Chain A
């Protein structure tokens, strides 16, 4: 079993839809959870950074962490064509300095 599981998609939605992206993990030591957005042939860009279980909102983006279920989510409201990218979940324990990434989910938002 991989440490981080993420459905690679692809996921295609119409403009304005609510998008739900998810990851599961197996390592209870993970404490910090991140979502990165990666446009084609570019480096990943940090979108959301959360520490504890619960929700964190930033504009149209909401990150949700459920440590008891080892499950994290990213919700995108009122999706736009500019949101079309690959979304990577990543996590880290407090004792190590390297991120463990999911495979990434490729999202396409159609006008």
Chain B
């Protein structure tokens, strides 16, 4: 069975640009979460979507937005990129909303120049 898939795996942007990251959850999983992992730190929660509704949001500015589609895939958008947005963006899926058994994808590594 396919795990969580993310695209693109690597991308380079310049300050001020916008980026869209994509995620496909494990088949049957209805919850998708996004995390940002800066080098040397643990992942930080950005968003959770369950059944296509936003169920949680971390301490990130409004430049960050996300959505979940009817097939449970998800997109994370970041506008007006800053140098500090350079990080590994991880998508995780789970069957339920609060089980904590998250299964992560390989991540999208964003570099902002």
The interface residues of chain A lying within 8 Å CB-to-CB of B50 are: 97
Whether the Cβ atoms of A42 and B106 lie closer than 8 Å is: yes
Whether the Cβ atoms of A34 and B98 lie closer than 8 Å is: no
Whether the Cβ atoms of B42 and A96 lie closer than 8 Å is: no
Whether the Cβ atoms of B90 and A44 lie closer than 8 Å is: yes
Determine the distance from Cα of A42 to Cα of B41 in the docked complex, in whole angstroms.
Answer: 14
Closest to A91 in B: B100
Determine the distance from Cα of A47 to Cα of B2 in the docked complex, in whole angstroms.
Answer: 18
Whether the Cβ atoms of B40 and A103 lie closer than 8 Å is: yes
- How many chain A residues touch B (CB < 8 A): the figure is 28
The interface residues of chain B lying within 8 Å CB-to-CB of A45 are: 104
The interface residues of chain A lying within 8 Å CB-to-CB of B98 are: 92, 94-97
Q: Separation in Å of the B39 CB from the closest CB of chain A?
A: 10
Q: Separation in Å of the B37 CB from the closest CB of chain A?
A: 9
Among A4, A43, A91, A103, max chain B CB count under 10 A is at A43
- How many chain B residues touch A (CB < 8 A): the figure is 29
Determine the distance from Cα of A99 to Cα of B37 in the docked complex, in whole angstroms.
Answer: 13
Determine the distance from Cα of A101 to Cα of B90 in the docked complex, in whole angstroms.
Answer: 13
Whether the Cβ atoms of A43 and B104 lie closer than 8 Å is: yes
Whether the Cβ atoms of A96 and B40 lie closer than 8 Å is: no
The interface residues of chain A lying within 8 Å CB-to-CB of B109 are: 41
Beyond A43-B90, A44-B90, A98-B33, whether A49 also contacts B42 by CB under 8 A is no
Determine the distance from Cα of A6 to Cα of B43 in the docked complex, in whole angstroms.
Answer: 13
Enumerate 25 A-B pairs (CB-CB under 8 Å) in ascending A order: A8-B40, A34-B100, A41-B88, A41-B109, A43-B4, A43-B90, A44-B43, A46-B101, A46-B102, A46-B104, A49-B100, A88-B42, A97-B48, A97-B55, A97-B56, A97-B97, A97-B98, A98-B33, A98-B48, A98-B58, A99-B43, A99-B45, A100-B45, A102-B42, A104-B41
